[in-house]
Structure 1
Amino acid sequence: MVDRLAGTAPATAAWAPVLALVFNAFVWGVSWWPFRHLHAMGLHPLWATAGVYLFSLACLLLVRPAALRHAVRHPSLCWLAIAAGLTNIGFNWAVTVGDVVRVVLLFYLMPAWAVLLAWVLLGERPTAVALLRLLLALLGVAVVLDSGQAGLPLPRSLPDWLALMGGFTFALTNILLRRLQAAPAESRVLAMFGGGTLMAVAAAWLGMQLGVAEAPVAPPAAFAYALGLAVAFLLGNVALQFGAARLAAHTTALVMLSEVVFASASSVWLGAAETSLRTWVGAALIVLAAAWSAWPTRRALRELPST
């Protein structure tokens, strides 16, 4: 019995990081539903986002109070805070008011943006294969945005623009994380949580001035519901940190694509998305481009540690 348990332990341990990433993808993939529920109760997704990240920020400072001191020593983390904050604003607002499948697909143009941003900010010239992936992703977006009418397939609604912005700033967040590796990990997480809080509050206030966001007038039950959402996001982030630290980057990226599956299946099942052949064709092209960008190269495989 001891030998059998010892033999199965490594397999269980090997699956744990993958399951952690799948849990994180599940939280993000179905997050549209609680955000919409809160919106119906009177809590705009911008205010809900601010509350979610304020809770996460408070928990981080409680567990790692030195994170704030480390963050002050790296003022360039402000750019990371802005990028991460805009990512959450774009995604959470878009899935609350838009077609979920369409929003998630436009958001997952992120690998294409990463090619261009790495070229500009990191000096990494894209290879012919990277440019081919970029064209494949852009073709998929064009198919998704095509309304079947005359004219260019351009974003035509607020959710479209928010999803594209969220994907762009998500790619920027990943690039900045690479540039800011000298900063302690806890200070980078602090910047992302702080950015999620401050940028959401700023956007909510500006939205109120422009008449596109409402003041938080939800009943007390809504704030208890929001607390549950905040706990789910915090656990998802912990799961992401656990899984990503134990798996190769390309494996993490591939597993995280399951978010598209969770979002699509849940939204179609609950009637929050419109499905058409055009949408599925565009989805196939975008997901193929994202999976291709995450697929390990021969060099990456050679660099993996032997077991």
Structure 2
Amino acid sequence: MMHSNNKNTVLPIAALLASAALWGAIWYPYRWLNEMGVSGLMSTFISYGIALIIGLPFYFRHLKSIVNAKWFWLAIIITSGWTNTGYVMAVIHGEIIRVLLLFYLAPLWTILFSWWMLGERLGRLGYFIIVLALTGAMVMLWQADGRLPLPANTAEWVGLSVGMSFAFTNVLIKKTDMITIEAKSIGIWIGGTLAPLPLLLMQPAVFAGVGDYTALLWGALLLVALAMIGVTLCIQYGLMHVAANRAIVILLFELVVAAISSYWLAGESLSAREWVGAAMIMIASLFSGKLEQEHSK
């Protein structure tokens, strides 16, 4: 619940900035683990599994809040599971900033899912956000040879789908205020653990290699797991105390961190045209915060 007084929000803002910074840089340890022989699927499975093992004893009692919303909780597990698994796969194999910009089309999908599931009217601002976000994506993905402005590879398609699943997860979370934050966190960790499992079971040899992981690799996986716990708790704490439109501005810090880290650590950069499209997508994200504020009045 949002507080109406002028309570100091330094700590919630710091929590949001920390979660945005972690998400903007988490691609690097996942890429490093992949280069060291721990695939994105396996590192997702292990890191979220560790997070679940650590968090479950503390939050288990909160699972009673799902009694009257089991199917919604299951849906959160499925959508968040693909969000986190797909995110890792996309940032390992794709260009970081392009993948994240496609991910940040999420406000567009949030508007559509909110209209469908929550009955929220679009209005002029909603249509403006849709047009602006789609135009930004077309500018960023424009092909000089006349091909359709679509994602250029599998990683970018995954990034686009992850933005959709992230938006669907957010709408589900908004719809299920009867489920506690702690129970939703458990669902997110379960999703991150289970989502990569079917594909891993098709490659049984990868499990045999787990016994050969060095202490350094296990240490890195533990640190990533702790980061995932921190992100989950920080972002939910921040959203409890900071207005939605302000929170979205803060969370866009992820793109800044991703742009800087991908330039310095992977030598990636955007062209002038891609930056124009990126700016349009980010502006659409900012306006989506205003739209959410209007719905909350």
Number of the residue aligned with 1:263: 258
CA distance in structure 2 between the aligned counterparts of 1:106 and 1:254, rounded to whole angstroms: 17
Deviation at 1:73, TM superposition (A): 5.1
Q: Deviations over 1:12-32 (max 9, x none)?
A: 943111111101100000011
- Letter of the aligned partner of 1:198 in structure 2? L
State which of 132, 136, 143 in structure 1 corresponds to 2:128: 132
State which of 282, 289, 297 in structure 2 corresponds to 1:294: 289
* Gaps in structure 2 of 5+ consecutive residues: 1-5
Deviation at 1:270, TM superposition (A): 1.8
Query: How many positions carry a matched residue from both structures?
Result: 289
RMSD: 2.4
CA distance in structure 1 between the aligned counterparts of 2:64 and 2:293, rounded to whole angstroms: 41
The reply on whether 1:123 has 2:119 as its aligned counterpart is yes
1:171-210 correspondence runs (5 A): 171-206=167-202, 208=203
The reply on whether 1:154 has 2:150 as its aligned counterpart is yes
Number of the residue aligned with 1:143: 139
Deviation at 1:104, TM superposition (A): 0.5
CA distance in structure 2 between the aligned counterparts of 1:297 and 1:259, rounded to whole angstroms: 20
CA distance in structure 1 between the aligned counterparts of 2:184 and 2:96, rounded to whole angstroms: 29
Number of the residue aligned with 1:27: 22
Number of the residue aligned with 1:75: 70
1:202-281 correspondence runs (5 A): 202-206=198-202, 208=203, 219-220=213-214, 221-281=216-276
- Letter of the aligned partner of 1:113 in structure 2? W
CA distance in structure 1 between the aligned counterparts of 2:166 and 2:181, rounded to whole angstroms: 18
CA distance in structure 1 between the aligned counterparts of 2:66 and 2:199, rounded to whole angstroms: 23
- Letter of the aligned partner of 2:251 in structure 1? M
SS in 1 for 2:195: helix
Paired-residue identity, % = 32
Deviation at 1:44, TM superposition (A): 1.0
Q: Normalising by structure 1, what TM-score?
A: 0.86
Number of the residue aligned with 2:47: 52
- Are the structure 2 counterparts of residues 201 and 119 from structure 1 closer, same or farther at C-alpha, using a change threshold of 3 Å? same
8 Å contact kept, 2:139–2:276? yes
CA distance in structure 2 between the aligned counterparts of 1:135 and 1:203, rounded to whole angstroms: 36
Say which one has the larger Rg: 1
- Letter of the aligned partner of 2:27 in structure 1? W
8 Å contact kept, 1:268–1:275? no
SS in 2 for 1:148: coil
Deviation at 1:297, TM superposition (A): 7.7
Number of the residue aligned with 1:4: none
- Are the structure 2 counterparts of residues 94 and 272 from structure 1 closer, same or farther at C-alpha, using a change threshold of 3 Å? farther
Deviation at 1:299, TM superposition (A): 4.9
CA distance in structure 2 between the aligned counterparts of 1:72 and 1:44, rounded to whole angstroms: 36
Deviation at 1:119, TM superposition (A): 1.6
Q: Deviations over 1:195-217 (max 9, x none)?
A: 111112224335x49xxx96655
CA distance in structure 1 between the aligned counterparts of 2:295 and 2:50, rounded to whole angstroms: 37
SS in 2 for 1:245: helix
Deviation at 1:126, TM superposition (A): 1.0
- Are the structure 2 counterparts of residues 110 and 276 from structure 1 closer, same or farther at C-alpha, using a change threshold of 3 Å? same
- Letter of the aligned partner of 2:240 in structure 1? A
8 Å contact kept, 1:41–1:219? no
Number of the residue aligned with 2:3: none
CA distance in structure 2 between the aligned counterparts of 1:102 and 1:297, rounded to whole angstroms: 25
